[in-house]
Chain A
Amino acid sequence: MKVTLAMKPAAKSFIPIEAESIVPKNFLAGTDLLVWRGNRELRLDEVFSVSVEGDADHLEDVEVVLSGDTFRLKRVGEYMDGGKITVLGGIGMHCGNFMSGGTIEVHGNADGWLGREMAGGTILCRGDAADYCASGYRGGRKGMTGGTVEVFGRAGDFLAESIAGGTVTVHGDAGDMAGRRCTAVRSLFTGTAAARVRT
């Protein structure tokens, strides 16, 4: 099953949209989902043109494709445990928080906190990732515990902060404080061109 969510140009707003409901699992039961913009709850089809091709019985067969101006769309793929999300453009903050399985592929740039505290699964970011990529929460002792994050562009500051497991590979430069407070690290950094935190 392929679910395509094309952001409606009219839905673009200064206030970001919080879309923690956009995880493949939820689409097994249909597309009747809600997202928040500020303190207002909106139906998915108020924000996106929704189209569904085929159907699926298993989580692994679900692919969600996001297109349009999605750089202010937050928390996509939070607590995701399987399936695939493909973002054709950029993605907003907190994409793939607490993710434990499946794949997120971002073709554009990712805003801050990509894959925060993830426990499993794969995140591929073809563009740049902003600060706190694959990190823990502010003040927390334990960040990412498993899974893989691969960034093909640059990563911002605090990459893989307090990482306690999993693999983070950055092909471009990493910002300041990469791997700060990390526990369980075998190698960190292989030059400015590739920052690598591997456990």
Chain B
Amino acid sequence: MNELLIKNACVIDPLRGINAETMDIAIRDGRIVEEVSGAAEVIDAHGMLTLPGGVDSHTHICGTKVNFGRYMSPEDMRAGRTPRRGPLHATSGYSVPTTYGNSYRYSVMGYTTLLEGAMAPLEARHTHEEFLYTPLQDTMANVLFDGNWGIMEAIRDGDTKRVAAIIAWTLRAVKGFAIKLTNPGGTEAWQWGKNVSCIRDPVPYFEVTPAEIIRSMVEANELLHLPHSVHLHCNNLGTPGNYTCTLGSLGLIPDLNKKRQTLYATHVQFHAYGGSDWRDISSKSEPIANFVSMRPQIVMDMGQVMFGRTTTMTADGPMEFNLYRLHHEKWSNHDVELETGSGIIPVIYRRKNLVNSIMWAIGLELALLTKSPWQCLLTTDNPNGAPFVRYPEIIGLLMSKKYRDAEFATLHPDTASRVPLPAIERELDWYEIAVMTRAGQAKALGIQEFGKGHLGPGADADVAIYPLRIDEVDPSTDYHKVVDAFSQTEYTIKRGRVVARRGECLVDGSNATFWVSPKVSEAYDMGKDPDFIEKFDRYYTVRMRNYPVQDEYLNRNRCIETETEL
């Protein structure tokens, strides 16, 4: 029996409504309990800010796409080199670090749960293999369904139950967690040399529109009672004037679920541009934030851009191709058979560049203009907007108008006429930051009932203690202290064990992978559906029996079985 007692912690635990109460946290065998015996090991937190372990609900850290980013950028591997030390492996890389680099750096920042934002089903093994070597965080993966042939055919036939059945089979086969739509229909259209400009353009051959794909997937998601909602990367990413498309997509979504949102719109910063071309691009964060604030069925994440170099990677193949035509630098695009595609381009965001300056402002505006922090979560779409190691700076910017003004003064001089940011006075408080970095993310992912994102009895003992006393630090002026504190925890505790302390990781952990297995009736088991099997064997390059990911690919197997309506 392993016991640990954290004393005198200043706890903010939004899912339980606890706001800065000094209390003790008792841990036994990796779970939080009411009390422990006198023999427990004691950590005195001395009134330091104590939060549930961080949850990143949209990041790209594992899988083929990330690894291709590593291949493409040997120069990236020159940064962030640390030697092997004790139980720790050597690391290197900045925007696309090694898996251990990702894991250690997240852990030092207090993050204990990560969602890989996009896993191509056919290439799921690679993602799971890299999860095995991301030892200090529990992981889960969104599965890409944006151009799935079987699903598009079922949508064309108006058969939502078949859509759900294919999703159920695929999620179970690839050990995935949720549905990801990346530019729905667009990557498939790109294989015909086209794209979809917005939700009403039909996909060639299949003759379904992105709007139909989004609606059917949302309905199918609720038929399957999945923990998370549909995770949508809207059409038309990164194009001036695309905010109308974003509003149109969000407007499609009914409120179907009492416990959580019905749609998770990711990296909305990239989808909130006004204007008609790159010369008159402007921020349209206000209409989007207002729209989302009025609709509890929608949660979004920021997709904040921070200046410096990074690597963009997405399943949105046509978007990356357009980006290539803009940059004419090195570039990769990839097609995944009957499913999806991807593209990767290293970029540098510069503060002297007007477009980049506007992008930086939009991310912050979305977070500041959305009334409820539960509806706008803190991400950079790592590494697309910036590597996740920049999160502490974003927290500082959201908490301090002074910091924002100081940064704003260094941007392209025309930025002020294109964005509302200078007029926004709001400064987020500690509670709101705790929501945006763990509680809100856990709730949006639907994993709070599996013990994530809160510190209630029974929860996984994932705790982050930051070297900061919130009664002594005024974030609006001492923002440097805030940034420093969120960069390095005093203690990061994972499954009841101290895994990182003051910037140093201490142990070689072992991750758990969450995945979903929807229970469907015999009639909707696609593994036995003759039409599905025939199409599979005819068009895939792999046999159907070789497609599912075996259990050996998971360290700790946290299977979530859902009761469905099929």
**B330 within 8 A of partner (CB):** yes
A136 to chain B minimum Cβ distance, whole angstroms, is 8
- Main SS at interface, chain A: loop
**A54 within 8 A of partner (CB):** no
**B74 within 8 A of partner (CB):** yes
Instruction: Report B59-80 residues with CB < 8 Å from chain A CB.
Output: 72-76, 78
Nearest-neighbor residue (CB-CB) of A137 within chain B = B75
With the chains together, A50 CA to B74 CA distance in Å? 37
**Neighbouring A residues of B73 by C-beta, 8 Å:** 139
Q: Mark A141-180, 1 if CB is under 8 A from B, else 0.
A: 1000000000000000000000000000000000000000
Q: Mark A102-144, 1 if CB is under 8 A from B, else 0.
A: 0000000000000000000000000000000000011111000
Please tell me the number of chain A residues within 8 Å of chain B, measured between CB atoms: 5
With the chains together, A139 CA to B76 CA distance in Å? 8
A170 to chain B minimum Cβ distance, whole angstroms, is 25
- Main SS at interface, chain B: helix
B40 to chain A minimum Cβ distance, whole angstroms, is 42
B74 to chain A minimum Cβ distance, whole angstroms, is 4
Nearest-neighbor residue (CB-CB) of B72 within chain A = A139
Q: Mark B62-104, 1 if CB is under 8 A from A, else 0.
A: 0000000000111110100000000000000000000000000
**Neighbouring B residues of A141 by C-beta, 8 Å:** 75, 329
With the chains together, A137 CA to B78 CA distance in Å? 10
With the chains together, A138 CA to B329 CA distance in Å? 14
Q: Mark A41-53, 1 if CB is under 8 A from B, else 0.
A: 0000000000000
**Neighbouring B residues of A139 by C-beta, 8 Å:** 72-76, 330
Nearest-neighbor residue (CB-CB) of B73 within chain A = A139
A141 to chain B minimum Cβ distance, whole angstroms, is 8
**Neighbouring B residues of A137 by C-beta, 8 Å:** 74-75, 78
With the chains together, A138 CA to B330 CA distance in Å? 12
**Neighbouring A residues of B78 by C-beta, 8 Å:** 137
B523 to chain A minimum Cβ distance, whole angstroms, is 52
With the chains together, A141 CA to B76 CA distance in Å? 11
B76 to chain A minimum Cβ distance, whole angstroms, is 8
B285 to chain A minimum Cβ distance, whole angstroms, is 32
With the chains together, A151 CA to B457 CA distance in Å? 72
A146 to chain B minimum Cβ distance, whole angstroms, is 19
Nearest-neighbor residue (CB-CB) of B77 within chain A = A139
A103 to chain B minimum Cβ distance, whole angstroms, is 27
A39 to chain B minimum Cβ distance, whole angstroms, is 11
Q: Mark B321-333, 1 if CB is under 8 A from A, else 0.
A: 0000000011000
Most buried by A among B73, B75, B76, B330: B75
**Neighbouring A residues of B329 by C-beta, 8 Å:** 141
Query: Which positions in A face B, CB cutoff 8 Å?
Result: 137-141
Sample of 7 further A-B pairs with CB below 8 A, known A137-B74, A138-B75, A139-B76: A137-B75, A137-B78, A139-B72, A139-B74, A139-B75, A139-B330, A140-B75
Query: 14 A-B residue contacts at CB 8 Å?
Result: A137-B74, A137-B75, A137-B78, A138-B74, A138-B75, A139-B72, A139-B73, A139-B74, A139-B75, A139-B76, A139-B330, A140-B75, A141-B75, A141-B329
Give the 5 A-B residue pairs with the shortest CB-CB distance, closest first.
A139-B75, A140-B75, A139-B74, A138-B74, A139-B73
